[in-house]
Amino acid sequence: MIYIGIDVGGMSIKAGVVDNQGEILFKHSCPTGVERGYGAVIRDIAELGISAVEKSGHTMSEVKAIGIGIPGIMDQRTGIVPFCTNLAWHDVPIIEEMKKYTDVPVYVDNDATVAGLAESVKGVSAGTQSSVFITLGTGVGGGVVINGKVFSGSHGVATEIGHMVTVDGGELCSCGKRGCWERYASATALIREGRKLCAVKPECALMKVAEGDITKITAKHVIDLAREGDADCAEIFDNYVHHLAVGLANLINVYDPEVFVLGGGVSHSGEFLLNAVRAKLPQYVFFKTMPYARVELATLTNDAGIIGAAMLGR
Amino acid sequence: MIYIGIDVGGMSIKAGVVDNQGEILFKHSCPTGVERGYGAVIRDIAELGISAVEKSGHTMSEVKAIGIGIPGIMDQRTGIVPFCTNLAWHDVPIIEEMKKYTDVPVYVDNDATVAGLAESVKGVSAGTQSSVFITLGTGVGGGVVINGKVFSGSHGVATEIGHMVTVDGGELCSCGKRGCWERYASATALIREGRKLCAVKPECALMKVAEGDITKITAKHVIDLAREGDADCAEIFDNYVHHLAVGLANLINVYDPEVFVLGGGVSHSGEFLLNAVRAKLPQYVFFKTMPYARVELATLTNDAGIIGAAMLGR
């Protein structure tokens, strides 16, 4: 049996044919064209998947399932996507729409959830039954696998882990609450703190790297300077790692997974981040003499969306 | 088939014979006698369970499973209880010990987990597949049911939800961290804030109820005065409900259950608490137009431990 995996983003739709071990046999892509509305986008999703099978030398009769990862949430009970901001979707009946083009079973889930599943099948968490994948990007997203299956909760919102409050009364979040974890553990947090630094200390190294323009500061600038030993950026980075570790410890207290997988832009800082998190986390674990989740970096990058989506139907 | 359910506390061991629907057919109890060590306690657990079956008019051949709820954590992979403070147990091989007395399969889990399962079988969350039971007592404990099964994570610590940090840098917790949820959502929090009030305002109504002795302040005193309209205690209570709701919203972002069940001492304040939480929670939910977990009060009280333990093996 083979699977179709489709990764839908605001800019492009990627479709692949994937075997039972999570290996991509063929893949191609097309622009999303969000402005055309969900009907046209979903038609393209179906056609791109079906044509991928043909081009891979297989037939649709061999396809066990089609999986779709979306940058939004999915209500599994109704088959409807309640929200998908990047696609401008609201209450989109994706399962019903897909049935216009194929009889193959269709599975849909959040893109971070799908990426987490991909890592657990073919990536760094392969072989584990429970893992939490965390995207450290503009925001913080989560992909939870429990007993080898993706976990999205009763209404599809179980992995909005970025909006777990860790600093009640703290930084205002776009969601209206104060102190959400993603205000402190995202790339955005590093940029915000970098800008604050430059405002009070315009002669700092970070301001030089940003060529005197605070709007040019990136998370990578802050992390690179911290790695090079710049005291100001090291302080920002240490504080970032503190908040990241506080949230991971919270997730141990609720999910107790075998492994955390760090993905997203901030994770590209690699071993420097990983070693810092591994050093900090033990201080915040409740049962200090017991084993707890190991922390790893994501290994699949661009293909995680296709592989994970395909594996939704395995 | 019938089940043996055993509720082990620091003071007493309660054993019951329970049918497939969670109905108790017979129950009895004996003192725990913690000071005798785990060997003697586990022998009593087994004997009390076996004699309950005889006294109920059934035979051990009808027993499908024995379930045991303990005030600690259980490592399901090893069959060992790593920690159980109230019983002074550390690394106790409970499954191996039980095998000395019976061949019937034995299941062991945390007492809050077990109580949550009981509510989902026979209590207020009956009929749901996913629920989070929360004990609001000296601390805050959790019992999570996912897909109709208890969820305790990979190492048995998944439901230490009381040690989820919600106020980073806040009140010091017994676990060594600052700002754990249970520092703000437990009965202990209400007592602490009541004492603070009396320290700065010794003429307040709470000080009168406590007869001028702040060590006599209880959570019930604070809640009763809030209910009666005392402005000082209403402020403490409102703040308590805020923190409780922040934590519940966090749990929606990770577990997204169908229902929250509030148990433990603070839940005895009943509708007054329930209405306040139900009014506050919507403000903190991420997807404000989507359905989310309803909040209910626990309905099983003393029998929850026996019923839930028995249902571990169902």
- For domain B2-123+302-311, say whether CATH 3.30.420.40 is its number: yes
| Cα A21 from Cα A58, distance rounded (Å) | 17
Per DSSP, helices labelled H in chain A are: 38-55, 94-98, 111-122, 182-185, 187-200, 205-209, 219-227, 231-254, 271-280, 304-311
Q: What is the mean pLDDT of residues A227-236?
A: 98
Pairing between strand A2-8 and A63-70? parallel
At residue A234, the pLDDT reads: 98
Of B200, B164, B192, the closest CA to residue B179 belongs to: B164
* Count of all residues that appear for chain B in the document: 314
Q: Let me know if the fold of B2-123+302-311 is the same as that of B131-297.
A: yes
Q: What residue segments make up the domains of chain A, in order of their start? A: 2-123+302-311, 131-297
Q: How far apart are the first and last CA of chain B?
A: 9
Nearest residue in A to B287, CA atom? A157
Q: B261: which 2 tokens?
A: 């069940």
- Does residue B270 contact residue B136 with C-beta atoms inside 8 Å? no
At residue A86, the pLDDT reads: 87
Q: B187: which 2 tokens?
A: 């009965």
Choose the mutation target among B120, B129, B149, B154 for the interface with A, i.e. most A CBs under 10 Å.
B154
CATH architecture assigned to A131-297: 2-Layer Sandwich (3.30)
- Does residue A206 contact residue A197 with C-beta atoms inside 8 Å? yes
At residue B301, the pLDDT reads: 81
- The answer to whether the CB atoms of B159 and A73 lie below 8 A apart is no
At residue B30, the pLDDT reads: 97
The torsion angles phi and psi of A300, rounded to 5 degrees, stand at -85, 140
The torsion angles phi and psi of B53, rounded to 5 degrees, stand at -65, -45
Q: Which three-class secondary structure state does DSSP give residue A118?
A: helix
- The answer to whether the CB atoms of B256 and A164 lie below 8 A apart is no
The per-type count for chain B, helices as H runs and strands as E runs, is: 10, 13
Q: pLDDT by residue (tens digit) across B136-157?
A: 999 999 999 999 999 999 988 8
Q: What is the mean pLDDT of residues A205-233?
A: 97
pTM of the model: 0.93
Q: pLDDT by residue (tens digit) across A2-24?
A: 999 999 999 999 999 999 999 99
Interface of A with B in 142-181 (CB under 8 A): 142, 144, 146, 151-161, 163-170, 175-177, 179
- Does residue B265 contact residue B136 with C-beta atoms inside 8 Å? yes
Distance of CA B260 to the CA centre of its chain: 12
What is the DSSP code string of B278-305? HHHGGGG-SSTTS---EEEE----TTHH
Residue with tokens 């989109």: A92
Pairing between strand A12-18 and A2-8? antiparallel
Tell me the chain A residues in contact with residue B287 when contact means C-beta distances shorter than 8 Å.
73, 82-83, 155, 157, 160
Residue with tokens 């604050």: A196
Q: pLDDT by residue (tens digit) across B157-186?
A: 888 999 999 999 999 998 899 999 999 999
Q: Which three-class secondary structure state does DSSP give residue A144?
A: strand
Q: Give the ipTM.
A: 0.92
